[in-house]
Structure formats: structure tokens, C-alpha cells
Amino acid sequence: VTEAERSFEELQRELEEVVGRLERGDVPVDEAIRLWQRGEELYRRCAAMLEAAAGRVEELAAETRDSGVPGM
């Protein structure tokens, strides 16, 4: 699975791990900065995926509101 193919849930789980490691505070400072960067990147990607999903929900909701139940 390439980075781009990973699901929202997988990315979010990694973000959780990154946050957890940072919060335990037992990482070297250089590593902490690297982890932070990684966390920010994961956040951007998760947020983009959520926005895309929300946009699709709005589209579908508008579509179904216009169509009504067929045959009724």
C-alpha cells in the first residue's frame, strides 16, 4: 500500500501514535521535531480527506432532495 492509497483510518491511527510518542516526551529533540513535521503532514492529509467526504455528502444530499422517490 503506497502512502496515497492509505485509508483515512490508517493515517489517523499513525497521527495518534505520533502524538502519543511526542506526549510521552522520551524522544530526542531532533526526533521530536521530525515527528512534529510528520504529524502536521498527516493532519493535512486527513483533513483534506474529510473535506472531500463532506463535499460528497452535500452533493448527494442535494441530489436526493431534488429527485424524490421514483415511482411514487
Partner 1 sequence: MVEATLHGDRKVYSVSAFNEGIAVWLRRLPDVWIEGEVTELRRNDAWATMFFTLKDPTTGASLGVTMARRRFDALELHLVDGEKVQVQGRAEVYEVKGELAFRAGAIERLGLGDHLAGIERLKRALAAAGLFAAERKRPLPRLPRAVGVLTGADAAARGDVVMGIRARYPPMHIVVAETRVQGAGAPVRIVATLAALAAHPDVDVVVIARGGGSFEDLLPFSDERVVRAVVACPVPVVSAVGHEQDTPLCDLAADVRASTPSAAARLVVPDAAELGVALERSRAGLERTVRRLLTRDRERLERHVERLRAAPQLLLERRRATLDRAGARLQALSPRATLERGYAIVRLGESAVRDAAAVSTGALVDIELAVGALAARVEETRP
Q: Using CA atoms, how far apart are residues 51 and 62, in angstroms rounded to an integer?
A: 17
Shortest Å, Cβ 21 to partner 1: 9
Give the residue carrying C-alpha cell 530526542. Answer: 28
Instruction: Name which of 5, 1, 37, 2 is nearest 22 in CA terms.
Output: 37
* Residues near partner 1 (CB under 8 A): 8, 12, 15-16, 18-19, 22-23, 25, 27, 29, 32-33, 36, 39-40, 43, 46-47, 50, 53-54, 57, 60-61, 64, 69, 71-72
Query: CB of 4: closest distance to partner 1 in angstroms?
Result: 19
Please, what is the minimum distance in Å from the beta carbon of residue 22 to partner 1? Answer: 4
CB 35 within 8 A of CB 14: no
